Amino acid sequence: MKIVINAAMTADGKIATRNGNSAISSKTDLRRVHQLRKSVDAIMVGISTVLIDDPQLTVRFGAASSRPPTRIVVDSTGRIPSSSKLLKKADEFSTIVATSNRISFDNIRRIESTGAKVLVAGQKKVELRKVFRVLEQMGYKRILVEGGGELNWSVLKLGIVDQLVITISPRIVGGRFATTLVEGEGCNRISEGMPLKLRNVKRHANGEIILFYEL
C-alpha cells in the first residue's frame, strides 16, 4: 500500500488561520490536488477537519473520476454530524468512519443509516496501523491523507508514509494557536525528527512552491 500526505501551508507553516480558515491553495494548486485525488483509492482526514471545514472530499476542478475515491474520517467517538457533507452524500460516495471502542451504539446506527461504513479499531484513539491493514485487505492500494495536523503526526509516526507533498503559499498568517502542518506530541530534539528526501520542486506563477518529499 502507498500512503501520500498532501497539505497546503503558509510560509510560516500554518495549515489554517487561528480561527480555522484553510483556503490556502490557489485554483492552480487545487487542480493539481484534485488530479492527485483522482489517482488514489481513498482520501483520509481527521474529525476536526470535518467539523471545521465540512469537506466533500470528492474529485472536482476538471479532474472528475468514474471511480471516485472512498472518503475516510478518523473519528474515535463517531461525532461526525449527520448534517456534514460527507454523511449527506454517503449513499452516493463510498464513505468510512474509522472509529474506536469509545463509539456508542447510537452513533454507529446513526452513521450506518446514512450509507457510511463504520470501522472500529482501537481503544481510546483510532488505531491507524490497524485501519491501514484492514484497508489493504479490502484492496485499497493508494491512500491520500489530507490532514489536519494531528492526523498528519499520527500517520507520520507510524513510519509508513511514502510521499509528503507540501504547497507553500507566499503568505504569513501567524497565530500561536493556528494549526501547523504537523501537530501531535512532537520530538524533543531536531536529530530525532523524521528525515525527508527532497525529490522534486515545482513553482506556480503566483509564487506557490510545491515540495515533493519521499520518506
Ligand X SMILES: NC(=O)c1ccc[n+]([C@@H]2O[C@H](COP(=O)([O-])OP(=O)(O)OC[C@H]3O[C@@H](n4cnc5c(N)ncnc54)[C@H](OP(=O)(O)O)[C@@H]3O)[C@@H](O)[C@H]2O)c1
| Of 90 and 165, CB closest to ligand X | 165
| Of 67 and 176, CB closest to ligand X | 176
Residue 147: CB minimum distance to ligand X, A: 3
Residue 66: CB minimum distance to ligand X, A: 26
Residue 199: CB minimum distance to ligand X, A: 20
Chain mean position to CA 23:
15
Grid cell, residue 86, equals 460527507
- Cis peptide bond N-terminal to 148, omega within 30: yes
Residue 214: CB minimum distance to ligand X, A: 19
| Of 24 and 90, CB closest to ligand X | 24
| Of 49 and 70, CB closest to ligand X | 49
What are the start-end ranges of the E strands in 53-148?
A: 70-74, 95-99, 117-120, 142-145
Residue 189: CB minimum distance to ligand X, A: 22
Contact 73, 86 (CB under 8 A): yes
**Sheet with 42-46, side-by-side order of all strands:** 117-120, 95-99, 70-74, 42-46, 142-145, 2-10, 163-169, 209-214, 197-203
Residue 163: CB minimum distance to ligand X, A: 15
Distance CA(141)–CA(11), nearest Å, equals 32
Instruction: List residues binding ligand X (CB under 6 A).
Output: 7-8, 15-16, 20, 22, 24, 45-49, 52-53, 74-77, 79, 125-126, 128, 146-151, 154, 179, 183
Chain position whose Cβ is nearest to ligand X: 148
Q: What does the angle CA 17 – CA 75 – CA 143 come to, to the nearest 5 degrees?
A: 80
Distances (CA, A) of 11 to 15, 38, 57, 70, 168: 10, 27, 25, 31, 6
| Of 15 and 87, CB closest to ligand X | 15
Distance CA(78)–CA(167), nearest Å, equals 31
| Of 16 and 161, CB closest to ligand X | 16
